[in-house]
Amino acid sequence: MRHWVAAVLACLLCVTGSRAAESPTEVDVALVLAVDVSLSMTADEQFVQRSGYVEAFRSAVVHQAVRQGLLGRIAVTYVEWAGVGNQRVVVPWTLIAGREDALAFADLLSQSPPRRSTWTSIASAIDFSVGLFANNGLEPLRRVIDVSGDGPNNQGRPVTRARDDAVAQGIVINGLPLMIREPSGPWDIKDLDLYYRDCVIGGSGSFMVPVRERAQFADAIRTKIVREVAGHAEPPRVQRIQTGPRANCLVGDRPNPEWD
């Protein structure tokens, strides 16, 4: 009897140990969708933006892109951000291995209304997103942060430092600069696409999809997500800007001695 009890205990310890040592889940890409909810985004623009992400994950094109990956599964989390210390995970890391998973992610996203807050700290959004890759139970072939917003960094550390720190860890940063309205406020800039090109995106194969018309929202988001999921040659609608003046990466930032 004593030997039988010892054997049972040993078996339980073996099972417990194997669970503790369980290897992380491999995915083609771990994707952070980091979405601007600063006050420069009108409530209507935020609704259209959120709807674009929801519809993207309901799209058969995105479902097919997931299936065609090397492993056929991805992990996605959706984050809203504004100023320093103002980031919120709306939908936590979700494993998507097929249509039903993608639809469930879209449903969760549609149930949480967008919020608005002050300032625009792209740098803090990047830093926060980098932290989400740690100890998340995933082993991705690629790690991608997808930043969307309608203005430059105007709070926190310089955005280029946050970008460079992330890229140094092998993380890719892509962008969706929203250029629907003409610049009207003190933090608005005309050539936001140039700013994203030179100051925000980075890493191997990084790209951006500028949005200049409201009707482009859903299509641009779907195009961008398909490219990020697939990880291959860019589709025709993805726009790169090869020429033009270099953007001032401190255009929206206030002087801070801690940067020096």
Q: Is residue 226 part of a domain?
A: yes
pLDDT(71) > 90 = yes
**For the chain, what is the domain count?**
1
Contact 98, 63 (CB under 8 A): yes
pLDDT(76) > 90 = yes
Higher-confidence position of 187 and 15: 187
Band of residue 185 on the pLDDT scale cut at 50, 70, 90? low
Higher-confidence position of 234 and 212: 212
Q: Is residue 66 part of a domain?
A: yes
- Structural domain boundaries enclosing 127: 27-242
Contact 146, 224 (CB under 8 A): yes
Higher-confidence position of 77 and 255: 77
Q: Is residue 209 part of a domain?
A: yes
Percentage of the chain modeled with pLDDT above 70: 81
Residue 203 structure tokens = 């890493």
CATH of the domain at 210: 3.40.50.410
Q: pTM of this prediction?
A: 0.85
Distance CA 111, CA 204 (A): 34
Buried/exposed 124-162: b ≥16 CB within 10 Å, e otherwise? bbbbbbbebbeebebebebbbbbbbbbbbbbbbbbbbeb
pLDDT(5) > 50 = no
Q: Is residue 216 part of a domain?
A: yes
Q: Is residue 18 part of a domain?
A: no
